[in-house]
Structure 1
Amino acid sequence: MASTKPRYHHGDLREELLRASLQLIETEGLAAVSLRRVAREAGVSPGAPYHHFTDRAALLAALSTRGFELLREELIAARDRATTPLDGLATLADAYARFAREQPSYFRLMFRPELSQPEKHPDTTAAGEATFAVLSEAVAAAVESGDLRAADAQLLAMTWWSLAHGLASLSVDGKLPERAKMLGTTVPELTDRITRLFAELVDSTRSRD
């Protein structure tokens, strides 16, 4: 019989449950996650997870929230390294795609439709909006610097998000690595070239106005 002796430090049960859930997703897939299974992986009693999560959906929503928080940190760090506002947009798209490559389990979970319901998971929704706000702020900075037109700000924010999310999804699904190999380059290099090409196209369009 497996031991139920806790493997976590006092007060860290919630973190241990999240860690065990993510590990299950990485090794066996999302279907393997249940509160009972997570409890067993964490080395606690079957009822212990209910002190922190009402059901499986609440557990997955908390993990999704954590993913958005981690992505937001990555985006802020990337934005702060940029030399110009327009360069910042390219850097953000690259960081977004890199996060998906490095954290595929988080990335796949974060955008599941059943977890994107504000009335059921307000914390997850708020974390997602805070992450998108980093991109919106970067677009606003590019508008203020004269690199982008104010009238196009909202549309461009969605366009940049679509570019970043598309690259991330292609990378996680294995399509971008295939294309990079055909072009004799790496996924990071290809992502960087695509995002910077798009930034140059935006800049050239503005210059013709």
Structure 2
Amino acid sequence: MLTVSTSPETYHHGSLRDALLQEGLAALEGEDGKEPSLRELSRRVGVSPTAVYRHFPDKQALTRALATEGAKRLSEAQHEAASHANDLPTRFALTGRAYVRFALAHPVLFRLMYTQGAPAEHSEQADPARALLDDLTSQLSRTKEEAERLALQAWSIAHGIAMLMLDGRIRADDALIDRLLDTASLFPVQGRSSEESP
């Protein structure tokens, strides 16, 4: 966690933006669980509103930045989960499960990532979680078309499970996440037995 002084003069180039993002994320994770206004953000960090506007000219710019940071953190969680697998199908299953568990652990940030504003232009930098999905599905598929279908199908299933659990439509249960995101049973076209997917 970034620690900053409330004196604007102590900020070095780039550190104020980082501090603003950290405070924005903290507000999302806090008791109120909502995105702060730019003025509220300036109060939380201890700088003038003008200083905030230099980095985020409007609320949409802040929302985009928070969503991008969320995508980065989601990707980190998925890479961490995938590092525990020795084969590609298992890595694929574990990244889907990590997606749902990230949503449950960070519900406000997750909803902001996918419901606020226009979607960010897809790039590895802007959406590293999507880049990981594309990489895995391209390795699991025989053609580009099959990879695109598999990526959309897998994302839709994981996102649907996450939203159903967040909305209380199905119980948020680790064992259920594992059963629902069993790669071999979801995608039998890959020709793998259920024993290959944990």
Common fold, TM-score beyond 0.5? Answer: yes
Map of 1:158 onto structure 2: 152
Whether contact under 8 Å (1:89, 1:160) holds in the other structure is no
Q: Which residue of 1 aligns with 2:22?
A: 19
TM-aligned CA deviation for residue 25 of structure 1: 2.9
Percent of residue pairs bearing the same amino acid type: 35
- 1:200 aligns to what? 185
Q: Return closer, same or farther for 1:7/1:194 CA change in 2, 3 Å cut-off.
A: farther
**Using a 3 Å threshold, how does the CA distance of structure 1 residues 207 and 84 change in structure 2: closer, same or farther?**
closer
Instruction: State the Cα distance separating 1:53 from its structure 2 match.
Output: 1.1
> Once superposed, what is the RMSD of the aligned Cα atoms?
2.9
Task: Write 1 or 2 for the structure with the bigger share of helix.
Answer: 1
Q: What's 2:39 paired with?
A: 36
Q: Equivalent residues in 2 for 1:4-153 (5 A)?
A: 5-6=6-7, 10-11=11-12, 12-26=15-29, 27-30=31-34, 33-116=36-119, 118=121, 127-128=126-127, 130-143=128-141, 149-150=142-143, 152-153=146-147
- Work out the CA distance in 2 between the residues paired with 1:66 and 1:116: 14
With the length of structure 1 as denominator, give the TM-score of the two structures.
0.75
Which consecutive residues of structure 1, in runs of 5 or more, have no partner in the other structure?
Answer: 144-148, 181-186
SS of equivalent residue, structure 2 residue 76: helix
> How far is 1:207 from its partner?
6.3
Q: Deviations over 1:7-30 (max 9, x none)?
A: 996332212211222233333343
Structure number with larger C-alpha Rg: 1
SS of the aligned residue for 1:17 comes to helix
Q: Specify whether residues 45 and 88 from structure 1 end up closer, same or farther in structure 2 by C-alpha distance, changes over 3 A only.
A: same
Q: Give the structure 1 partner of residue 196 of structure 2.
A: none
Structure 1 pair 90/7, CA: closer, same or farther in 2 (3 Å)?
farther
Q: Does 1:171 align with 2:165?
A: yes
Q: Using a 3 Å threshold, how does the CA distance of structure 1 residues 74 and 5 change in structure 2: closer, same or farther?
A: closer
Distance 1:195 1:51, change over 3 A: same
- Cα distance change, pair 201–50 in 1 and its aligned pair in 2 (3 A): closer
Deviations 1:140-179 (A, max 9, x none): 2223xxxxx5463221111111111112212222333xx3
- For residues 89 and 185 of structure 2, the distance between their equivalents in structure 1, rounded to whole angstroms, comes to 9
Residue 113 of structure 1 deviates from its aligned partner by 4.6
Q: Distance in 1 between matches of 2:52 and 2:119?
A: 22
Check whether the contact 1:6–1:42 (CA below 8 A) recurs between aligned residues: no
